[in-house]
């Protein structure tokens, strides 16, 4: 790979009075445009490592390079204005409006007013918050998720190349967290920032990281690699234990629905006659079909048994389809939907809601089996 | 959002409104008592001489000057010290100061004024100094508490975005500590106005003279009027303090 954007070289941090260093002789490269996730048990020094990069904690030994330039001895305040910083507690300034909060670093850098104003609106749009509503609000009027959106907007306001994130979504409820993670991944596709992301949650690490560094005590790197490699080839017992027993299941978050072969379950298009439906069902290996409306949107699961049991019109027999999947969804989402579904399958639709096929537990299982077979030989 | 935050805003307003109502109500009641004393008690020539308008006016001005000067002195001393001891590395000094000044406040103000008299002689400056020492603690303690209660995450975010230590102090810590610090100043001013009644002991003037004359010449109406005026003055300044707390509080808090 090219020259690293951030380089930590033999960096240590020890505190007087404690024997073991918080960070011991760490060398680590972060490449341009990647998300490197630091993950490890609590107290392993991952947050300390992150703060060494913007020198909120001064290293006791070693050098730190940014863009190949040694920044170990430059004025830390100047350095930090070039590096975005997002923390779990957000830390918005309560006495300043959302706009003023976002303007913090641009103001420190001496941007002119018009440019700052324009930038505030741009940043609020970026994190999907309406400037007209939120500009002049104060932080206490925001929910936790909204506050962290502003936190991210504030960190990105001066367009830094590097973003440091310390458990940014750690204090947010699971549903909002999931949404923020997805939004952030989408943002990152456009922004291509170089990000160092700290979390204690291995699932979050797998989801967010291009590369993951698994750290043990003293911020020693146990393994640093892509999530796929770490999941399939854990370097040692520590990594294996840290991944936990569900490594294969965790791998499901890396694959999308479009990566597996869809099951071709016959479709019945409305309006359809009962006899036609029965004929189709007889030929279907699963004895199940998907009833579609006239726009090809899935409506109900129809089985032979359910048709025979009742004399009701076809659009009232069988079981309703309440959730569907899109090709971009992860296989973990797919597994969840299938387990909830009454027929052990999930329908897959395209963006406009048109039926594409079905995804079954068997197809998922065969992929997992062929996958782990593949990695065993690799 | 507005629905969620509305109740807290309302509650804040209620407490603040009470804060702004109590002092004027009591001041009004005291004024009525004072007027009743003037109207319905025997006012002889001696009492009239003690309560001569120009005298009272003079004493009022002196009391206000004493209260203000000592409070200004307190602000000038206590806030910088409060800032200094909350910077890193001085926790021991902080505890020492708070304890010592607690002792100073435990002494009767009377005693403090006499001690300062024995050092600096008679006069208004002695009183100002004594009052300042006496009321240093509330302002110092509130400065320390105000600065220490600022959310560490906010400070860390500020540092992380590139504020220098000085900028963190002036842009974040002090603005966020203002409500607590002003509460301390308000306490100090009320203490100082009240204690200024003792200034006459060392020739510092003030409304204490009227009370003293009333006591010495056995004129109860004069004692009452003097005491009522001191109390009203203290309440007026408490009210001004409440106003300051309300309008100098940073928005968004």
pLDDT computed for residue A376 by the predictor: 39
Q: Do B1 and A155 touch (CB under 8 A)?
A: no
Q: Which of A91, A139, A151 is nearest residue B156 as measured by Cβ atoms?
A: A91
Does B179 contact chain A (CB < 8 Å)? no
Q: Which residues contact A77 (CB under 8 A, 6 or more apart)?
A: B162, B163, B164
Encoded tokens for B1? 């959002």
The yes-or-no verdict on residue B9 having pLDDT over 60 is: no
Candidate from A81, A87, A91 with C-beta closest to B162 = A81
Distance, in angstroms, between B164 CA and closest chain A CA?
A: 6
Q: Is A91 within 8 Å of B154 when comparing Cβ atoms?
A: yes
Highest mean pLDDT among A216-225, A357-366, B3-12: A216-225
- Note the pLDDT tens digit of each residue in B208-246: 899 999 999 988 889 999 999 999 999 999 999 999 988
Provide, as residue numbers in chain A, all residues whose Cβ is less than 8 Å from the Cβ of B171. 93
Confidence class for position A50, pLDDT limits 50, 70, 90: very high
Higher pLDDT, B168 or B95: B168
The whole-number pLDDT of residue A333 equals 81
Confidence of residue B11 (pLDDT cuts 50, 70, 90): low
| CB pair distance less than 8 Å for B164 and A77 | yes
- In residues, how long is chain A? 378
Question: How far apart are the CA of B86 and the nearest CA of chain A, in angstroms?
Answer: 19
Contacts of A16 in chain B (CB under 8 A): none
Between CA A192 and CA A160 the distance in angstroms is: 11
Q: What is the 3-state secondary structure (H, E, C) of A232-296?
A: HCCCCHHHHHHHCCCHHHHHCCCCEHHHCCCECCCEEECCCCHHHHHHHHHHCCCCEEEEECCCC
Range 149-168 of B in CB contact (< 8 A) with A: 151, 153-164
The pLDDT, as a whole number, for residue A163 is 96
Classify the complex by whether its ipTM is higher than 0.90, answering yes or no: no
Its pTM stands at 0.77
Residue B4 pLDDT exceeds 50: no
Answer with the residue of higher pLDDT: B3 or B70: B70
Q: How far is CA A258 from CA A146, A204, A208, A335, A345, in A?
A: 32, 22, 20, 14, 15
Residue with more model confidence, A343 or B213: B213
Q: How far is residue A116's CA from residue A110's CA, in Å, rounded to a whole number?
A: 9
Residue B29 has pLDDT above 50, yes or no: yes
**Best residue in B2, B11, B146, B162 for a mutation probing chain A (most A CBs within 10 Å):** B162
Q: Which strand (E) or helix (H) includes residue A162?
A: strand A162-166
Query: Which residues partner with A300 through β-bridges?
Result: A291, A320
pLDDT > 60? residue A212: yes
Out of A241-250, A325-334, B46-55, the most confident range is B46-55
Q: How far apart are CA A45 and CA A215, in angstroms?
A: 8
* Alpha-carbon span A181 to A199, nearest angstrom: 12
Phi then psi for residue A375, to 5 deg, are: -75, -25
Instruction: Report CB contact under 8 Å: B253, A78.
Output: no
Contact in structure between A10 and A25 (CB atoms under 8 Å): yes
From the list B5, B157, B176, the residue facing A87 with the nearest CB is: B157
Residue B4: closest C-alpha in chain A: A141
**Per-residue CA distances from A21 to A170, A216, B147 (Å):** 26, 12, 31
pLDDT for A375 beyond 60? no
Nearest CB to A77 within list B5, B157, B163: B163
**Encoded tokens for B112:** 């403090």
B172 lies within 8 A of chain A by CB: yes
Q: What is the largest CA-CA distance in chain B?
A: 73
**B162 with A87: Cβ contact below 8 A:** no
The region of weakest confidence among A156-170, A196-210, B87-101, B135-149 is B87-101
Of residues A48 and A345, the one with the higher pLDDT is A48
Per-residue pLDDT tens for A92-133? 999 999 999 999 999 999 999 999 999 999 999 999 999 999
Per-residue pLDDT tens for B59-88? 999 999 999 999 999 999 999 999 998 887
- pLDDT level of residue B179 (50, 70, 90 thresholds): very high
Which residue bears the tokens 């002792």?
B103
Query: Of the ranges A234-243, A250-259, B131-140, B238-247, which one carries the lowest mean pLDDT score?
Result: A250-259
List residues in chain A touching B: CB distance below 8 A. Answer: 54, 56, 77-81, 85, 87, 89-97, 104-105, 108, 137-143, 151, 154-155, 164
Tell whether B118 is within 8 A of chain A (Cβ).
no
**Cα–Cα distance, A144 to A134 (Å, whole number):** 14
pLDDT of A2 higher than 70: no
List the structure tokens of A65: 């390079």
| CA dihedral over B164, B167, B171, B172, signed as positive or negative | positive
């Amino acid at each position: 790979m090219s020259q690293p954007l951030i380089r930590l070289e033999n960096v240590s941090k020890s505190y007087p009075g404690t024997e073991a260093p918080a960070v011991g002789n760490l060398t680590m490269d972060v490449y341009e445009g990647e998300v490197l996730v630091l993950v490890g048990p609590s107290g392993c020094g991952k947050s300390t490592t992150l703060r060494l990069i913007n020198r909120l904690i001064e290293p006791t030994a070693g050098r730190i390079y940014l863009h190949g330039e040694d920044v170990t001895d430059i004025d830390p305040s100047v350095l930090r204005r070039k590096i975005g910083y997002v923390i779990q507690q957000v830390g918005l300034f309560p006495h300043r409006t959302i706009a003023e909060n976002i303007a913090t670093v641009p103001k420190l850098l001496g941007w002119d007013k018009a440019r700052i104003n324009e930038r505030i609106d741009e940043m609020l749009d970026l994190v999907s918050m309406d400037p007209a509503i939120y500009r002049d609000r104060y932080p206490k009027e925001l929910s936790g998720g909204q506050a962290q959106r502003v936190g991210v907007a504030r960190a990105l306001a001066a367009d830094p190349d590097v973003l440091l994130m310390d458990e940014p979504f750690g204090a947010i409820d699971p549903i909002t967290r999931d949404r923020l993670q997805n939004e952030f991944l989408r943002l990152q596709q456009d922004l291509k920032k170089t990000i160092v992301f700290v979390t204690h949650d291995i699932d979050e690490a797998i989801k967010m990281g291009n590369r993951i560094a698994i750290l043990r005590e003293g911020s020693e790197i146990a393994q640093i690699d892509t999530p796929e490699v770490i999941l399939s080839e854990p370097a040692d017992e520590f990594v294996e234990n840290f991944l936990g027993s569900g490594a294969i299941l965790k791998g499901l978050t890396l694959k999308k629905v479009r990566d597996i072969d869809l099951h071709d379950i016959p479709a019945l298009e409305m309006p359809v006659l009962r006899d036609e439906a029965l004929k189709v069902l007889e030929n279907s290996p699963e004895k199940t079909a998907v009833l579609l409306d006239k726009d090809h949107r899935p409506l109900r699961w129809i089985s032979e048994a359910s048709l025979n049991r009742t004399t009701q019109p076809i659009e009232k027999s069988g079981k309703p389809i309440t959730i569907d999947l899109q090709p971009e969804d992860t296989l973990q989402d797919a597994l969840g939907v299938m387990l909830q579904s009454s027929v052990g399958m999930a329908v897959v639709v395209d963006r406009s809601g048109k039926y594409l096929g079905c995804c079954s537990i068997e197809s998922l299982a065969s992929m997992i089996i062929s996958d782990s077979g593949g990695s065993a030989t690799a | 959002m507005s629905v969620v935050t509305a109740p807290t805003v309302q509650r804040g307003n209620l407490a603040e409104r009470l804060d702004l109502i109590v002092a004027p109500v009591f001041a009004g009641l005291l004024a009525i008592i004072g007027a009743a004393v003037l109207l319905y008690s025997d006012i002889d020539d001696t009492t009239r001489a003690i309560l001569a308008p120009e005298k009272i006016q003079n004493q009022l001005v002196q009391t206000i000057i004493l209260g203000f000067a000592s409070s200004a002195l307190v602000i000038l001393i206590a806030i910088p010290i409060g800032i200094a001891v909350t910077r890193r590395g001085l926790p021991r000094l902080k505890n020492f100061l708070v304890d010592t000044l607690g002792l100073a406040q435990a002494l009767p103000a009377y005693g403090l004024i006499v001690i300062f008299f024995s050092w600096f002689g008679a006069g208004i400056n002695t009183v100002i100094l004594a009052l300042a020492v006496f009321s240093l603690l509330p302002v110092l303690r509130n400065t320390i508490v105000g600065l220490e209660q600022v959310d560490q995450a906010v400070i860390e975010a500020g540092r992380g975005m590139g504020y220098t230590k000085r900028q963190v102090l002036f842009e974040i810590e002090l603005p966020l500590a203002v409500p607590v610090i002003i509460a301390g100043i308000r306490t100090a001013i009320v203490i100082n106005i009240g204690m200024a009644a003792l200034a006459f002991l060392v020739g510092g003037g003030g409304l204490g003279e009227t009370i003293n004359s009333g006591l010495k010449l056995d004129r109860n109406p004069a004692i009452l009027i003097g005491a009522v005026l001191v109390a009203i003055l203290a309440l007026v300044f408490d009210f001004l303090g409440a106003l300051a707390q309300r309008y100098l509080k940073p928005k968004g808090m």
